[in-house]
């Protein structure tokens, strides 16, 4: 037997990286809340819109009421920094476990770092989102240095979409954040379950994982010969069901 093929990955419970569920379907969030592997939750306006959520405050209150003891991140959706600040202060007041997601820039490419520094200095727990460069990581880690715990969310999956290897970028982001023990690096926008192990490999404290990827957790360590046979069986069944003939 080839050892490369037969080696099984470590169980998720053995990893140091914390898994946060990323989504906006309340039923799925509550189901995942019952899983002790899920250490926190994140969402964003795009995910909420896809789930048909119309009442932002109402949805957030349901989530905070149902999940009071794990970190939950909600994002501002304004584009002007004054309004971002107002929204951030309201969101922060929703619960002690709430983190406010602030995008690294607005839509005009104006940096949000001054606002991030202000909010951190005021004691707002932040999740700075949509970052993809190490310069952004440097600026944000400096800005939150005097604040409470914060998340520095680097979109490794989107970096990979550009043909760049995110592993060295994420490893360097972890190094940059090390002087501030209250700033945790998030591996964001993963594309496959394997990215959880990548995040562990480079020392990320957190990875946000969408609900569809989390459904694959049951496959971890699955026998590859069995999985191969199941795949062949699926192709055969679907070919028969379609009634194909040659």
Q: What confidence score (pLDDT) does residue 221 get?
A: 95
**Do the beta carbons of residue 155 and residue 131 sit within 8 Å?**
yes
> pLDDT by residue (tens digit) across 31-64?
999 999 999 999 999 999 999 999 999 999 999 9
Average pLDDT over residues 112-131: 98
* Superfamily of chain region 11-218: Aldolase class I (3.20.20.70)
Q: How many residues does the chain have?
A: 246
pLDDT value at 1 more than 50: no
pLDDT value at 77 more than 70: yes
Question: What ranges in 67-165 are assigned the alpha helix state H?
Answer: 81-92, 113-121, 134-143, 156-161
The three-class DSSP label of residue 84 is helix
pLDDT value at 2 more than 80: no
**In the chain, % of residues over pLDDT 70:** 98
Work out the end-to-end distance of the chain between its first and last CA atoms, rounded to an integer number of angstroms.
Answer: 38
Q: What confidence score (pLDDT) does residue 8 get?
A: 83
> pLDDT by residue (tens digit) across 136-175?
999 999 999 999 999 999 999 999 999 999 999 999 999 9
Q: What confidence score (pLDDT) does residue 225 get?
A: 97
Cβ contacts of residue 51 below 8 Å, gap of 6+?
Answer: 23, 24, 25
- Stated pTM of the model: 0.94
pLDDT value at 3 more than 70: no
Domain locations along the chain? 11-218
> pLDDT by residue (tens digit) across 171-208?
999 999 999 999 999 999 999 999 999 999 999 999 99
For residue 58, what are its two tokens? 């109402």
């Amino acid at each position: 037997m080839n050892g490369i093929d037969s080696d099984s990955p470590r169980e998720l419970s053995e990893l140091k990286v914390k898994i946060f569920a990323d989504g906006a379907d309340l039923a799925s969030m509550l189901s995942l809340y019952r899983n002790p592997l899920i250490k926190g939750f994140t969402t964003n306006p795009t995910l909420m819109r896809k789930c048909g959520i119309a009442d932002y405050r109402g949805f957030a209150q349901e989530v905070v009421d149902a999940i009071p003891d794990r970190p939950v991140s909600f994002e501002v959706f304004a584009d002007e920094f004054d309004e971002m600040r107002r929204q951030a202060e309201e969101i922060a007041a929703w619960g002690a476990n709430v983190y406010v997601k602030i995008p690294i820039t607005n839509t005009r490419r104006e940096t949000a770092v001054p606002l991030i520094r202000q909010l951190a200095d005021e004691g707002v727990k932040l999740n700075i989102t949509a970052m993809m460069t190490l310069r952004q990581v440097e600026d944000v880690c400096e800005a939150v240095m005097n604040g409470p715990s914060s998340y520095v969310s680097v979109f490794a999956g989107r970096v990979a979409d550009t043909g760049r290897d995110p592993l060295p970028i994420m490893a360097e982001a972890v190094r940059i954040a090390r002087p501030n023990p209250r700033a945790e690096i998030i591996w964001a926008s993963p594309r496959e379950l394997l990215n959880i192990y990548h995040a562990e490999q480079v020392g990320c404290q957190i990875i946000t994982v969408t609900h569809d990827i989390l459904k694959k957790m049951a496959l971890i360590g699955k026998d590859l010969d069995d999985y191969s046979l199941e795949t062949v069986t699926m192709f055969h069944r679907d070919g028969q069901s379609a009634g194909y003939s040659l």
